[in-house]
Structure formats: C-alpha cells, structure tokens
Amino acid sequence: MAHIADQTIRFDKLGREDVARVGGKNASLGEMVCNLGARGVAVPPGFATTSDAYWQFVDAAGLREVIATALTDMHEGRASLAETGQHLRAAFLKATWPDQTARAIRAEYAALCDHIGREDADVAVRSSATAEDLPDASFAGQQETFLNIRGADALLDACRRCYASLFTDRAISYREAKGFDHLKVALSVGVQAMVRSDIGGSGVMFSIDTETGFDRVVVIDAAWGLGETVVQGSVDPDEFQVFKPLLTRDGVVPIVEKRLGAKLHKMIYASEGGGTTRVVPTSRAERAGFVLEDAEILQLARWACVIEDHYGCPMDIEWARDGQTGALFIVQARPETVQSRRDAGAYRSFTVSEKGRKLVAGLSIGDAAIAGRVCLLDSPREIDRFVDGGILVTGNTDPDWVPIMKRASAIVTDRGGRTSHAAIVSRELGLPAIVGTGDATHVLHDEQEVTVSCAEGDQGFVYDGTARIEEEMLDPAAVPETRTRVMLNLANPAAAFRWWRLPADGVGLARMEFVINNHVRIHPMALIRFDQLQDQDARAQIAEITAGHADKSEYFVDRLSRGLSRIAAALYPKPVIIRMSDFKTNEYADLIGGAEFEPAEENPMLGFRGASRYTSERYRAGFALECRAIRRLRAEMGFDNVLVMIPFCRSVREADQVLAVMAEEGLERGKDGLEVYVMAEIPSNVILAPAFAERFDGFSIGSNDLTQLTLGVDRDSELLADLFDEQDEAVKWMIGHVITAAKTAGAKIGLCGQGPSDHPEFARFLVECGIDSISVTPDSFIRVKEQVAKAEGR
C-alpha cells in the first residue's frame, strides 16, 4: 500500500527527472518552479498527483482487468474504438476514490489555498500522461483540462474526469499509432493556481519559427480570455515575432512582426468556481486592439529564451496574463516536436507556376504545395465521406479530426492561428495547411480541383485548378567555399526565414518597393495628405487599413520597418542592402490612393523614378517616410547590419542632392556605421564611376537596366526579346569597366541579377573581372555558388 506522501508532490519538489512519476507536463512545471523563478520566470504554484495515485485508483476499482479485456475486444473486432472508449470512460467515472488518495489531494489543495491566501482558491486541473510531452512525441490535446475549479469536492471530481480522459477515442488511437502500451501509461493530474486570464489574455509561444525552423525568433500568439481558444484553433489570434539576438541589447525593440488577429470571441468562466466555461463574442475595442503591449511581448520573449536555454532545446510554451493584476505567467512548457527533429541538411524548395484564379488565402503552415480535390466536411463524424489523399476543408479541427487529417494531402480551415490544433498536427504530419482563411468553407466546394500553395511565404493560397508544381532538393551542406561573396536577392518578408540555412554572405538586394506593395499597399503621399484626398473609395480603404493609427504616416513607417526587419533578421549579422523604392509612376499609381499623386508618362521606365523622386516636391515627403523606416530599423529595432542603396541615380549632382536629403532625415553616410551604395545601371554610372565612388561606399550592377540602356532595347518588349542579351560585348565592356573603376577607387562592387545562375560562362566572366559579390535568387544560390567556385578554380 502506498504512503500518503506518495500520492501528491508540490511543484517545488519536482524536476525533469520525475516524468515517470508525474508525466512530462507536471515534471516540466516543477523544473521551472525550482530553477527558473530566480531568473524571473513566473509560474503559478501547484501540485501533482503521482502515477502511484493513478494505479492505486485503478487497482482499488479493479480497472486493470476492465482495460485489458476492453482493448482485447477492440483488437479482435468485437468492439469498435468508440464503444471501447465509452465503456472505459464510464468505468473510470463510476469508480470511487481510495480514502488515502482522496485525503492526500484534499490536504494538498488546502495547503495550496493557504499559500495563495484564498479559501477554496480556483485552480486549473490538467492531465499529464507519464509518456507525455517527450521530445519524440506530441500528446498535445490528447487528455482533458478543466479550468475554474473551486473546492475540494469539485477538485476530486475533476481529477476523476482527467483519469477517464486517458481513454478518449483520440487518446486510445494515438497510443495505438505510436506503439505505447496502454497499461504502461499512467496519468498524473496537475493542480495549479488559476491565473485569471478569463478577464485578461493568454496564448502560446514557441522559441523557434514553427514554419521554417528559424531558431532566432520567438513566435507568440495571443487572444483575449482563456487560452483554450488559441490551442483549439477556434480563434484567429494576434501574432508577434521577436528577434532573439537583439533582446539583450539595451534600448532596442526587436519585434519584427505584429499581426492583428480577428479575435472574434473569447472563453470566460460560466460561473465563479463552477468548473464550467463559455465562449462569448469580443467587443469591438478588443478586436481592434492588440492583446499585448510591446513591453509584455518582450518580457514573454525573454522568458522563452530563458526556458529554451535551461532545457537546451526549442520549446512550446503556454502563457497567461491575469486580468486582475496584469501579471504574466508561464503555465506550461514542453519540447517543440516538429522543427527540432527536422533534417537540418537538405530541404525541399517548391515553385508554383501557371496558377489559376486565387480563391482563398490564410496563414501558411509548412512550405510545400499540392494539387488535389476538395473534401468539405463539417464534422469528424463524416469520416466515411473522406477520400484518401483529398484536401480537407473545414471550419477548424480538434484532436477528434486526427484520423481524417492523417489521410489528407493538405488541410484548409476557416479559423485558427499558427499554434492552433490544425497547424500543430499538420506540421507533425508533414502536410501543407492554410489556417484562418475566414471563408474557405463558403468559397470552396466538394470535389473541386484546387492547388494549395504554402510555398510563397507566410501567406498560403488556394488556387482554382491544377497549377504547375516544381520541387527541388537543396543541400546547404554541399555548398563549396568561395572568395567571391554570393548573396541573396530577397523581396518578400513573408518568405525570408525560409532561406536562413543557406550559407549566403548576406542580402545583396532587398527591394523596398515589393514590401510597400505587399505589406503597406498605400501610396505614402495618400497617407501624408489624407485629408486632401479626392478619391472617396481610396479614403474609405485607407481609413479601414490604418485603423488604430492616429498618425496615418506612422502606419507606413511601422509596416515598412517591420516588413524589412524580417529580411534583415534572416541573415543577421551579415550585411543586408536595402534599395530605396524604385517603382515607376504607373506602378506607384496602382497603390491605394496613388493615382492622384502620379503623372501619366509615355515611358515610365525612363521617367520619374529612382533618385529623381527623392528630392522632388512631388515625393520628397514620401521619401522622408522611407528614411524614417530605415532609421527605425537600424536605431530603434537594432538592425545595424542594414545598409542603403540608391537606384537609378542619373548624375553626380543628383547623388549629392539625395545624400543631403538623407542626412536631413537622419541617415547620414558614415554615421553609426551607415554605408550607402548606388546602383550601376545607367551608362553615366559607368562613365563617371570614379566620381560616384567618391560619394558612395559601393556599387551594385543592375544588369537588366544596364543592358536596356546600353543596347537601347526595351527589356519588356516581346518583339525585341532576342536582342536583349546581358552577355552582349557592349554590356560586358560596361560591366568590366565599372568593376575596374570601383576597384581602383577602393569601392565595393557586386552584381544583382539572374544572369550568373542562367549562364555559367557569365559567372566566370564576373569572377575574372574581380567582382566582390554576386547576388542571386535563393533557389539559384547553390548553382551559382558551384559556378563561382569552378571559375575561381580556373
């Protein structure tokens, strides 16, 4: 007979070595209480029942034989999974507590109430299987959690229901699939002081990017009320991403993503201490506002780093904020089980082309793409309708959906964030998924042929019909060393983290206009002169998009700096050269509100673009916002690896004017290590290279425009496509000349373009000319690196 002391253990007496006694979840809570409190990590107090208590309960009620017989009947086909689970749960719920175990739980609960200073304190009651939360298996959601439990009798009832939940249908099938012996898995119950997040907020965070494995960001999801809505995926939460290497630098705020979630509802107490909860709509103010302030985001991120450092592996963490005190707490932590096991060597790159009409969009999970037929289901009870290999489309998922999800080729849901059930299980199964689309179940229909693409960054898209999908295996470990630096061309912040494993020497070209077009979407002058805007449709769109920003110009600076920060973070601390905006007037006019501020030009390619805009009264104020975004990126967010490049600078006089304007806006060349480059893409840049070298730190050859302007060929003309040749002798003379001039002047020089990857002999030519760097698209990086190594070897 076990002693009463063997039935319960306080968290502050537990550690990681106690998994066999109290399961992974409770052992982890004890580990944090004992070791991380001194480092500032707040964990609510509590205690755990032991595996001995579970077996004593089982044996006192004669349940071992009941379990063994029921499972044998299921294996031999005499009972279904559902019948087996129902029978076993009923047996547990009818069983009575052994007196000794009941006394132990009552005594420990009374001690916890004394410690908290509240009689009949409300507690959270969570299941922790003794095989749970191991690094090679995720039991997330397999057993039950009961919140808002008050009083010893209610606590004992909740503990009994936890025991019964060891035999839910989903828990049985999961253990069957993983090969766990049901009679060797015990259940511990964690009893933890309840954080009043029902009137505050809560969520989940990972110490690693769950989509790419990028290990230098903390990803935080946040929603109002109890955290079950985030875990279950029934709410679209706010999402924050924090860059870990800059968290320790004083005075910087390295929050690289702040995405406002819809947060349409929240879970709250149904009654005080009654153990029941209910879901209610959120207020307009709650939907429009972020759950967390910047200081709270940074505090949680620092805690995630402390926890990860202590455990020595990426972590999956649940947090809560008490609505009465405003205090933050960590309520669970377990090893992350997907990216931490992913092969860090070779990985797949998908390219989707010949796409049909875009039907729906949401958050992308994974980085694959697949075509197939939609199977639209409302409930997991419709499993008989599901066709193996189909694309599962539904509102959202919970653990009951797992048997269907295992048979799917992709998953699309209306609701949920990156830490929702659908997202977590999709990652573990290796399936592409798009969550939080809002309307997939309304737009898509059964047996519709679609393409699900998660290969285009943070946003995933469902396209009509079957697109062309190409897959390529990339192996960063096989990349040769080169003297010539090979850098990346990046434009899409959403996809930047995909390429962090590539051994690139930095980012040679980050196109600001792409970020403006996709992340900001509004013409900067329409924000600055919003009150004078004549286009009423544009006014309405801008008002809606910038809601929450009293200063509409601040919206531009905030969105642009955060978008660029993800590119800056991907290869930090290596240099990231950001080219200031280089839209043509017709492209600027396509931005929301842009038509009123752009002239109509016969030939925008040779018109009002690049440096000429920055000092013009037509755009000077817009350029000031671009400069503010760069200044924030470097000074306030800490990304001092960011350098600046000026495009389409026609003359030395124009160069002097632009540099003067930049200095007025706080971007003075040479100050705080700021380097400023210029594109070499106009013959005048080549002819006067020594003069440009006096004013800039380096050049980047834009081979497309240089070819166009050297040969007098419109690069977009289909009729002249055969004449457009980067390897024409005249173009090569221009390139060779500017490389020699730059080297003579002591300026750096590189080239950004597709030519080196398409033509091995072109890469050899650049190396022979002595170029410092070549910047290419990520999917061609390895090929170019190999070509450069061969050229250097010659």
Active-site positions read: 421, 752
Strand-pair partners of 537: none
**Residue 358: both structure tokens together:** 């875009």
Q: State whether residue 299 is helix, strand or coil.
A: helix
Relative to beta strand 459-464, strand 391-394 is unpaired
The answer to whether 450 and 469 are in contact (CB under 8 A) is no
**322/361 Cα distance (integer angstroms):** 34
Encode burial over 308-322: b for 16+ CB neighbours within 10 A, e otherwise.
Answer: bebbeebbbbbbbbb
Q: What angle do CA 340, 342, 343 make, to 5 degrees?
A: 125
Strand-pair partners of 192: 46, 124
Write the CB contacts of 86 (distance below 8 Å, at least 6 apart in sequence).
none
**655/260 Cα distance (integer angstroms):** 40
DSSP letter string over 394-448?
A: ES---GGGHHHHTT-SEEEESS--TTSHHHHHHHHHT--EEE--SSHHHH--TT-
Write the CB contacts of 793 (distance below 8 Å, at least 6 apart in sequence).
none
The whole-angstrom distance between residue 580's C-alpha and the CA centroid of its chain comes to 26
Phi, psi of 435 (to 5 degrees): -115, 155
Q: Among candidates 303, 75, 315, which has minimal Cα distance to 181?
A: 75
The answer to whether 146 and 125 are in contact (CB under 8 A) is yes
Q: State whether residue 249 is helix, strand or coil.
A: coil
Task: Provide the total of helices (H) and of strands (E) in the chain, helices listed first.
Answer: 28, 30
Strand-pair partners of 394: 413
Q: Among candidates 227, 241, 218, which has minimal Cα distance to 308?
A: 218
The answer to whether 103 and 152 are in contact (CB under 8 A) is no
Strands (E), 325-423: 328-335, 347-353, 358-365, 369-376, 391-394, 410-413
**212/457 Cα distance (integer angstroms):** 10
**Residue 499: both structure tokens together:** 């390429």
Residue 532: CB atoms within 10 A of its CB come to: 9
For 19-58, the three-class secondary structure string (H helix, E strand, C coil) is: HHHHHHHHHHHHHHHHHCHHHCCCCCCEEEECHHHHHHHH
DSSP letter string over 609-647?
A: -THHHHTSTTTHHHHHHHHHHHHIIIIIS--TTEEEEE-
Strand-pair partners of 773: 485, 750
**537/614 Cα distance (integer angstroms):** 28
The answer to whether 573 and 505 are in contact (CB under 8 A) is no
Q: Among candidates 445, 482, 480, which has minimal Cα distance to 462?
A: 445
**Residue 106: both structure tokens together:** 């009552």
The answer to whether 682 and 712 are in contact (CB under 8 A) is no
The answer to whether 503 and 476 are in contact (CB under 8 A) is yes
Place of tokens 């035999």: 167
Q: Among candidates 130, 129, 127, 2, which has minimal Cα distance to 60?
A: 2
Find the radius of gyration of the CA atoms of the chain. 30
- Amino acid present at 630: I
Phi, psi of 334 (to 5 degrees): -145, 155
